[in-house]
Structure 1
Amino acid sequence: MDEDLTLDMNTRPSTPGDVPAVRDAWGRFKLLARVGQGGFGEVYRAWDPDLEREVALKLLLPSPTGSGQSDEEYKAMLREARALASVRHPNIVPVYGIDRHDGRVGFWTDFVKGKTLSALLVSQGPFGYREAVLIGLDVTRALSTVHRSGLLHRDIKAENVMREEGGHILLMDFGLSALPHLQEDIAGTPNYMAPELWQGKTATVASDIYSMGVLLFYLVTGEYPARLGRLSRAEAMAALAQKRTLMDLRSDLPDQFLRAVSRAIETDPAKRFSSAGQLSEALAECIGTAVPVEAEVQRAAEVTTGSRRWMTIAAAILATTFVLAAADYISLHRQKDGAGAKTALAVAGPGINDEYTHASELLKKSYKDSNIAESVTIFQHILKEDNTFALAQAGLGTAYFKQYKNDPSKGDLLDAAKAATEKALGMDKACVPALVTRAQIEAITGHSDLAINDANAALEHDPHSAEAHAALGEVYQSLGKGKEAIEEISQSVALDPDNSMWPLRLGHYYMGAGNLATAAEQWQSSVQLDPQNTLALYDLGLVDIQLDKLEDARKNFQTVLSLQPDAYSYRALGSVFQLQGNYADAAEMDKKAIELNPSDYQAWGSLGSVYRWSGDKREESMETYRKAIELAEVQRRKSPDDSDLLADLADYYASVGNTGMSLPLARKALILAPDDPDISYIAGYSYEMAGERGKAVQLISKAVARGIHKNEFLRSPEFAKLRSDPSFLTELNKARSMLAVDSKTKLN
């Protein structure tokens, strides 16, 4: 029996088998390429003309009789597909729809770009123990959500778990394997099937747990407990009775991990973990932490975000905060007898120490990309001279991580950051900068519990580490614990009062709580500490816009441009001129941004807005928006679930009068980021343009109450009627009252 389908574009080419490829189309979908074939059907890369996006379309094989699925079978599939579509989890590829055409049933999902764990293992060999645990935690949490929904996966295997570009782990391809005609035979992938399934018993939570155990076994060995691919039932049962243990192949692994896998693949279902949550707890204990209660896990997975413009800047700053105490760390280890870094520093000599200090200072001012690049070069040179220098290895990992945060499309930088950080910890398990970096990596990949564990470990080794406090604060912020987050970053400020990055971060926390004035004070403090901190100046300019200090905003953006001209700052300055009614200069700034980056769809969209507001350049506006749409659609094919991108596209389509495209995009953006006021505002514009005033009022009041786009709203010609609608003032007052209560809760 062949293994089931994969959406991985890097798998072997599919073979025709007994089922001919569908030629050009299936229903409304245009079929672009067949990318996989297996025991249950075929997977196509397809084009959805309704939403104008690529999807993965899985067409199930016809029933054995060749008559196609019966109405009863189709209804059963539809029920299960609907149930699967209701399961929402960041580590699950969602099912979007199911239909029947030409005697074939098919369902479609996101087309995920990345590599399956199976493909990764083939290309790079077995996974490291810790990496396998982290993957296992992602998958078991997703599986726990599936089971709580009353469903089973039934086909967990390395081919059905993908590492997306950027490192995110996704459980996919449920396969709808409970379908009636498939129950006539053994359902699942043989090497992963629990013994009871070979006996003809029904799939249960326990059989999914068994498959998880086999997956973990396979990740660290490249082998299965028993090879069952082409065996009969009797032969398979005999092979399972003599299956290998993980100890047989990897006795070097920690006892806790060996016990966890052994229990997951027990022959008797009653002896296995009783839930995916129990297995998740056992895996977390393998690396020295505990899994939070279920509500906390869900809250960590469903991070509440603030304004996307603020969070874009915050993300860049996040990557700058956890190596700033490198000099203090050197000093600390010079004073401690037996400290891991002491010998390395002594052996390195003054020349290398000076280079290391210089590279660390560059990272303190990582608001310049050139500083990060130079630090990478220096760290690499140091390690060429002395490849045992743990601090330099940690610094290299941090520099790579900063570069990744500045350009998340480069997933290889995240892998490089992980590798360098783990190598540093292999040299010195008490290396505080490396522990902090790993905490930050774990935080952005959704492992909040592990991030807290590493941040606390860093603080145990160095209670005065400002970076460790900042890292811990960032995780608390992602969990919605505003008070704890502010306490931690305030510790960073107290420990390192001359560092401009800490008040910068503190300002973001206050901004997230809706306190613009206090955020502005923090950013002003950051600028006073370092007048060349372009991130602080940029943030200050943004909040000046919201506080109606347009002249102050103009000066701040012009200062940023004098220090480091970039497309973002030109666009920001253009937005100030636009709000001031200076459309000629606003257009000029957007054009400069386009010159620097012709593929910047936001610059094209901003220019279209300027033309629209000017009132006498409708044709230019439409043409410019169409260019923005063209560029943004290219990006959407790469990042179909980027809520910011979807909101921008909704805005552009609404601006050219295409509400049929605008509203579905706006709805999806709101689903992906329901608490982002920036997205609420833009989606509100789409609804207003579509004539749905009630929804527009609800969304825009939510954003304006937090000060987001307030000035734009008061000046926008499209919102003239909405501003005078009595229902808007009512909703705005209600939103402000709720925000005041929420802010008080977060800060107290």
Structure 2
Amino acid sequence: MEIERWAEIEHLYHAALELHDSERAAFLAKACLGDEPLRREVESLLASDAQAGSFIESPAIEVAARSLAAEGLLPDLSTAALKIGTAVSHYSLITKIGRGGMGVVYRARDTKLGRDAALKFLPEEFVKDPQKLERFRREAWAASALSHPNICTIYEIGEHEGHLFIAMELVEGKTLAEKLKGGPLAIEEVVANSRQIAEALDEAHEHNIVHRDLKPANVMVTPKGRVKILDFGLAKLVRETETDAQTEESLLLTHAGAVMGTVPYMAPEQLSGEPVDARTDLYALGELMYEMATGQRPFLEPQTSRLISAILTRLPRRPSELNPQVSEELEAIIVKAMEKDPAKRYQSARELMAGLGPQESALWLPLSASKKIEASAAPPLQKGKAVFIGGLALAVLSLLVIFLVPAIRRHILSPPSAIGGLPVQKELAVFPFSVIGGDTGDSAFSRGLAETLAAKLTQISSGRSLRVVPVQDLSARNVQTARDAQKVFGVNLVLTGSLERAGDRFRISYALVDPKSDRQIRADTLTVSAFDPFGIEDQVVEGTAGMLGLIVRAAERQQVESHGTQMAGAFQDYLKGLGYLQNYEMTENIDHAIDSFQSALKVDSNYTLAYAALGQAYWRKFDTTQDTGWVNKAQNSCSHAMTLNSELPATHLCLGIMESGTGYYTKATEEFHKVIKIEPTNAFAYEGLANAQYNLKRTTEAEATYQQAIAVRPHYWAPYNWLGVLYLRTGEMQKAAEMFKKVTQLAPGNHQAFYNLCGADYFLGKWDEAEDMCKKSIALRPSGIAYSNIGTVTFSKGHFEESAGYFEEAVKLDPNDSEMWGNLADAYRWSPGGRARAISAYSKASALAREMLRVNPRSYKLLGDVAIYEAKSSNIKQAMDDLAQALSLAPKDVQLMYNASIVFHLAGQKAKAFDYLRRSLAGGYPVESILTDPEWAALRSDPAFQQAIGPAKK
């Protein structure tokens, strides 16, 4: 078959493979234009593809043999089972332990020497084939010539009742394949293992023996760290004479061009049917080193045809991208060992060992800590370049597939492997892709892409065992690694990747990662135009869904593929804006986000999503600067988005945030209900709805909303946290503590859960436990709330000056939080000589709270806080006015009722003070906090005070 003909077949095959089964016949009928042989060839490949077995993970010789056996060209490879306990020469069979190198392997007891051994039996059908029998003897002879501590020792060759066997050393331990299931190895272990493998290969190569099937399953590591190479079953004696070479060809290539080895670890020359030598094993060692260092193979294509193409033509990702602990020196050794051209590799195992030897200490250092490579070292992996062998790599691949191994063609074009290794309930975090060779705009684009990807995966998660953590949550908690995502959010999968710019194109590599082991489970790479953001998003969404084992339903496809605009430039600016807004803590990023959304609207003035996002950016600007001028801009943008398209959940979410933030809670609930109706898994909508319901004094409804959010996403920590905060507000402290404990179980690294649990324990009177929880929160991540909470605990213990130190740390971290300034003022007020500092701090707290009241004048909490600040500053009239307004909005709020008791006490209205004290206690306010509050110190012996707190004390 001509190369051009194969190219046409391959093109149609891959195009058809992308279609649903029901669409393929019509496509081929139109594409083949009456060329029936062409159509039959493609249909044959597709049919074989659907039945393909585990070719990728099997040695090619075994696949070929199975295929030939299936076609009747070779007997079945099964070996008649021998009974356990059977005496074989001076061995007694103990148990069957597997199959290796075309043979069945038993554990046996050597009754002469009193040791266990491994016995490998050849299939009895092979005994009848003189060529196979000769290969078996040569294999055993070749292996028995090797005596090295890193090579499995051959004891003898024997025969039992017509069955030939090899008795060999029984190696205890784990295969490298088993060890790699736990992720990448420690760098020192990578180096130690690599050196031992190289030493073993050096010994074999000295005896003119090439392994040709070096892979993790053929490398055993003993409990003491000794490496043993198993099964030189595919070893080929390298003869220099033409006669010997012809003999080898007749023995090993029973079908022209048959390949020996396991595809993922085969060198390019091995795949191309070219002569192999010692350098072929060094390529496989390079692949083993790559996998030991990164936890994944260099090429992860699930289809064999694409895997072969990748090995022949592509460069893998740099190991240091996948594991920052890989040093430049180690990376250089791996890269040189894996050169596609054998002439550019190490020329001997001894040369590779020399590279490992003198540089051992540097090899163990991470990339950032190790010194630069000398100019003579191996070159780093190149960016953005495909490698072509002689300009005809794909042609070589085509010939290999069609001509060299015709009997196993249907196995080569195997489908993507089944979705295995994935948890049933998938808890996914989507990380922004790292940017290589781009600018800040590309970085923002990458972050925005991650946000929309997470949102679209959330859209298709309804009714499926998938929950996606919003990208904004990752940014808000500064989660930057897969393991941190597991600790903070309780995820069991992470999507991560890289985006590399090469001129006007992006090379995007992305993978699903197990956060516990940092091991890649699935991965893919695509190259697209940098000016086609639609294609980028669509392909990554589709690819990720496939990795997760999800099929995008027809009803979902239109929603998933909708971008809200037909203008690529507008969509690109929109993604950049989303990316900038994720890092809003840097005020310049909010400005960049506003600029990006405005640029998108210049390109497409009817871009609804851009208006909704611009509204949220304006609101974020207000929240950061407290400049109320941004509020109107935010409201106008959200309202304009609504007029353009009232069906999008983003427009209702935007408007709901604005309405709730400005105190229009009834309108806010309407908007959040609309979001949930369209997008029932939207976490932000549930949070906003319940918060608005609570502010409308509809506490029962708020509780039900949070419980609904939990039912929708039972493995997501946030709804439990929200419900716990609600219970704190309503005085149900034990329920609050239970919710926060649940959060710590789902997300043990979540600092917010611990400072909330600190608050609950404080109100339950467990002050020592509360202090421990706050300290744990601070150890995970310092925050203003954690410092404020631990300050409150120490304040209640009467350690006022110590508590002032904690509150000072709190206002450093959250300088615009009025409540923290109020707490600091309290600590100053009761510290010796702190009155003046207290008045100043109360003034700051009051000013911050009143600025927020300009935006939301219906906030009873802010009104109750300023009432306290004014009363403690002796501004009693103002305090009473603020308190009256607050009580009119939330007369049964527990904290507000306690604030009222303090204000009335400072105003000299003792009866009302004790009345509100009783009410707060009845609502669940902890009596321990009252008894230790210095505000009541002068009244603790007062009978009226004792009467007010009496029921609670009991």
TM over 0.5: no
Which structure has more RCO (C-alpha within 8 Å, separation ≥ 6)? 1
Structure number with bigger Rg: 2
TM-score normalised by L of structure 2: 0.36
TM value normalised by structure 1: 0.45
Higher helix share: 1
